[in-house]
Amino acid sequence: MGDDAARLFGSILLAHTWQAATRRSTLAEPDRPDASLVIDECHNFLNLPGHVNDVLAEARGYRLSLVLAHQHLDQLPADLREALSADARNKIYFNASPKDANELKHHTAPLISPHDLTHLGAYQAAARLIIDGQQTSAFTLRTRPLPALVEGRAEAVRQASCQRFTGTVVARRAGQAPESTAGRASGHASREGDPGAPSASSRS
């Protein structure tokens, strides 16, 4: 596809995802299923209408959690860097360069120094989280190594996603109940005109 086309496609997809999230404003909060949006190399795709600060501030109300990942601070435009610093509620840092560590120390001091940030080992990270509505002090953690590769799992996940979500969208546009929600798999009949509400997913 090429880098430029991938950035454009990703930005459009992200904008449509955000528009779908904002339409949840017509639903009572208990009726908004949890959803997570993970954006790797986020600086390539955060070209949303409005300011990123507003997106980060409002997403929680729509029950949408955002995971924004990048490699180093110089990848981020100044306004995006400031928005993430101020409004990303949970922050996790892996091994940082001395330059980045000197800037990130404002979030980790006094318990974790710039020297600590530049000497994090494999599978080790520093974090500062919101727990029960309260900001924690910075702490270190150890992540789990990647599990062993399961042959064919990636393709199975892609196929399951296509069957569950693509069919639902096509059927909704056609005004029909999708076959995947017809009830024979679950033992429940689908309601006419209700092509299947999205199921809740746990927040990451």
pLDDT value at position 167?
62
Q: Provide the pLDDT for residue 1.
A: 74
CA 187 to chain centre: 33
Superfamily of domain 3-142, CATH level 4: P-loop containing nucleotide triphosphate hydrolases (3.40.50.300)
How high is the pLDDT of residue 181?
A: 42
pLDDT in tens, 62-100: 999 999 999 999 999 888 888 889 889 899 999 999 999
Determine the pLDDT at residue 145.
Answer: 86
**pLDDT exceeds cutoff 80 at 198:** no
- Sequence ranges of the domains in the chain: 3-142, 147-177
> Given the DSSP bridges, would you call strands 124-128 and 91-93 parallel, antiparallel or unpaired?
antiparallel
Report the pLDDT value the prediction gives residue 50, as an integer from 0 to 100. Answer: 65
| Per-residue model confidence as pLDDT tens digits over 110-120 | 999 999 999 99
Query: According to the model, what pLDDT value does residue 71 have?
Result: 93
| pLDDT for res 169 | 54
Q: Write phi, then psi, for 149 (nearest 5 degrees).
A: -65, 130
Question: With the CA atoms of 182, 187, 191 and 192 taken in that order, what torsion angle do they form, in degrees rounded to the nearest 10?
Answer: 40
The yes-or-no verdict on residue 182 having pLDDT over 50 is no
Q: Band the pLDDT of 164: cuts 50, 70, 90.
A: confident
Q: Check: pTM over 0.85? Answer yes or no.
A: no
Q: Give yes or no for a contact between 117 and 93, defined as CB atoms under 8 angstroms apart.
A: yes
Round the average pLDDT of the chain to a whole number and report it: 82
